[in-house]
Amino acid sequence: MKKLARIAFVFLAVMAMSCSSSNDDGGSSSDEMYLRWTQGGTSYDIADPGTISSLSTVITASQGTDASMRMLSLWMPNNATVGTHPIVYNSGSQTDVYSANLSIGSDIMVDSASGTINITSIDADYIKGTFSFTGTDFDGQTYTITNGSFRAYSPSGN
């Protein structure tokens, strides 16, 4: 049930972000926000990930629809810090851990089991870093996420 609540929260958050207005003023690439990764030999590059803070913070982005949909979420404490942090499995109620998950289509949800999030910079406006993780879906199939990188709005605790 907690997994369903987590999926619903991320889905609603992404939907809310997609309805927001864009402020594309032709700024420089230093203003670029992204969530990038490789999985199964395919690279994904999604612009403008959302950052949502409540009891913890999630940086999330999605692309595609139906079976081609990919949504990746990076979870962290609101007071995230610069450095390398181990990714652990999160039961959905922990607010002080770093974790990740990947949704593929509407049927596959991959929860992280191990990996790292390396936050390379964080200030009042932006957070930037790299990540990689391995996780399993409900059927026990293992997925490996590599070459991950992100730049997004900072969590509210910073």
CA 103/CA 97 separation, integer angstroms: 20
Beta-bridge mates of residue 92: none
CA 77/CA 85 separation, integer angstroms: 11
Beta pairing, strands 50-53 & 57-63? antiparallel
**Which H or E run contains 10?**
helix 2-18
Beta-bridge mates of residue 57: 53, 76
* pLDDT score of 31: 73
| The pLDDT of residue 139 is above 50 | yes
CA 3/CA 13 separation, integer angstroms: 15
Average pLDDT score over residue span 13-42 = 62
Q: What is the pLDDT of residues 51-109, one digit of tens each?
A: 999 889 999 999 999 888 999 999 999 999 999 999 988 876 678 899 999 999 989 99
**Which H or E run contains 65?**
none
Structure tokens belonging to residue 12: 């609603």
Average pLDDT score over residue span 2-19 = 40
Instruction: For residue 98, give every residue at least 6 positions away whose Cβ sits within 8 Å of its Cβ, in sequence order, or none.
Output: 74, 75, 76, 77, 80, 85, 86, 87, 88, 117
Lowest model confidence (mean pLDDT) among 97-101, 140-144, 153-157: 153-157
Q: Supply the pTM of this predicted model.
A: 0.80
Q: Give the pLDDT band (50/70/90) at residue 29.
A: low
